[in-house]
Amino acid sequence: MAFPAFFAQAPRIALHDPLARLLGASDDGLIEYGYEDAVRLAGHSCPTVAGAWLMTVRALRALYPDTPPQRGDIDVTFADGATSGVTGVIANVVGLVTGATTDTGFKGLAGQHDRRDLMHFQGDVPGEIVFARRDTGDRVAVSFSAQGVPGSPAAMPMLQKILAGGASDTEKQEFAHLWQDRVRRILEAIDQPGLVTVSPLPRAA
């Protein structure tokens, strides 16, 4: 199995996870995540997964400009419901990196390292997602729009033909190439205005 080469070239992020250090999963507590980890989790690579990845990376860079983000110490609130549209797919990627869960995560040790109740849905928040540091209360709102990185006009007709069972192997390969080419261009455009919007918010009370 081989991923497209651009997966490894996408923006990466390293977080400090005190639980990982405590339990010996990482000698210094640092764990680096890359886009390929999000793909392994989702089972596919698409603009939604790429957008979730970029929103998470940009939000954490903004919240922790000088130090590694603290995994397990970040609250995440989505504007939409968990089952609305592609929110669940995005939430899985966000949870992978931040460690945040609803009520399904690690219960903690002696009141520490609890990963539950750090992810919330249908919140009255600006943007798509609000990330908040639990130690300082600093918050940012993030949104993603892939309109500035359009796909090939040929891609969707090819997909329809594939799903209808009438595509040749060559057409299937061409569709996969066109699909991942758009994902590549999205990941490369992480700092392009309008792709990912990051807005600082007042600190949580």
Q: pLDDT tens across 119-174, in order? A: 999 999 999 999 999 999 999 999 999 999 999 999 999 999 999 999 999 999 99
Q: Where in the chain is the domain with CATH 3.30.1330.20?
A: 11-146+193-201
Please state which CATH number belongs to domain 11-146+193-201: 3.30.1330.20
> Is residue 120 within 8 Å of residue 104, measured between CB atoms?
no
Which residue ranges of the chain lie beneath pLDDT 50? Answer: none
